Amino acid sequence: MTDMPIRLLLADDHPVVRAGLRAVLETEPGLVVVAEAATAEDAVARAAQGDIDVVLMDLQFGAGMTGAEATAAITAHPGAPRVLIVTTYDTDADTLPAIEAGATGYLLKDALPEDLAAAVRTAAAGRTTLAPAVADRLLHRMRMPDMALTRREIEVLTLVADGLSNRAIAARLHLTEGTVKSHLARCYTKLGVDSRTAAVATATDLGLIRR
C-alpha cells in the first residue's frame, strides 16, 4: 500500500493556477493529479467519487459556494479526502473558517514547489501543515485570547469595512441591530479603539480582516 500514488484534485477557478499546480505536482514522484474543478460545487461532487486522497482547495470562487463551505461539505463524510487550502489569503477572516471547516492544512500560493509537495504528502498522512504566517497568527490568538476577534466579530467588522450600516449588517447576517452594535462594542474594546474607522484600520493592520 505504501507504493500507491497520492491522488489529487485541484480546485481553483483560475485555469492558469490549476495548470501551474499540475505542472509542479506532476514532477513529484508518487503524486498524481486525477481531476480538476473550476467551482467549489464541482469540487464537492468530484471529491465524493471516492478516488481522491487530497483536495487542493482555493478559498474564493466568485459566485456560489466558497472554498471553506466546500471543505466542510467534503470533510463531513466518513473516509473523505483530506483538504489542503492553497490560497493567497492569510487573514483571520479566511483562515479561521477554513480550519473550522476541517481543512488539514493551509498553504499560501507563494510557497516553494518543494514545500507544496511536502504539504500534500503531510496532508495525505493526516497531519497538519500551516503556512508560517498562518501558524504565527493562530499562536498569537492563543497567547492573547483577550484581543482575538471571534468569527462573528470578524464578519461584522468586514462588512463595516465594506461600508455597510449597522442596519444593513444586521439584515445581511440575520441579526438584530442591537446585536451588531454589541459585536462592534466588543471589537472596539479588544482593538483599543473608539470608532468604526479606527477599528477597520487596526484590524486591517493586524491582518484580522482583508481589504
Bridge partners of 54, per DSSP, are: 8, 82
Residue with cell 466542510: 72
Q: Which runs of E-coded beta strand occur in the chain? A: 6-11, 31-37, 54-57, 82-87, 105-108, 129-130
Whether 91 and 209 have beta carbons less than 8 Å apart is answered as yes
pLDDT for the residue numbered 93: 77
- pLDDT-derived band at 156, boundaries 50, 70, 90: very high
Output the CATH code of domain 151-205: 1.10.10.10
Cα→Cα distances 156→78, 166, 178, Å: 33, 9, 12
Whether 131 and 95 have beta carbons less than 8 Å apart is answered as no
Distance of CA 186 to the CA centre of its chain: 24
Bridge partners of 87, per DSSP, are: 108
Output the CATH code of domain 6-140: 3.40.50.2300
pTM over the 0.75 mark: no
- pLDDT-derived band at 91, boundaries 50, 70, 90: confident
pLDDT tens per residue, range 188-202: 998 889 999 999 998
Q: Is the pLDDT of residue 108 over 80?
A: yes
Q: Is the pLDDT of residue 86 over 90?
A: yes
pLDDT for the residue numbered 138: 78
- CATH 3.40.50.2300 maps onto the chain at 6-140
Q: Is the pLDDT of residue 144 over 70?
A: no
pLDDT for the residue numbered 1: 40
- CATH 1.10.10.10 maps onto the chain at 151-205
pLDDT for the residue numbered 180: 93
Region 56-80 average pLDDT:
92
Cα→Cα distances 201→153, 188, 193, Å: 15, 12, 10
**In the sheet that 31-37 helps form, which strands lie side by side, from edge to edge?**
31-37, 6-11, 54-57, 82-87, 105-108, 129-130
Region 1-9 average pLDDT:
81
Q: Is the pLDDT of residue 187 over 80?
A: yes
pLDDT for the residue numbered 145: 64
Higher pLDDT: 186 or 138? It is 186
Higher pLDDT: 125 or 141? It is 125
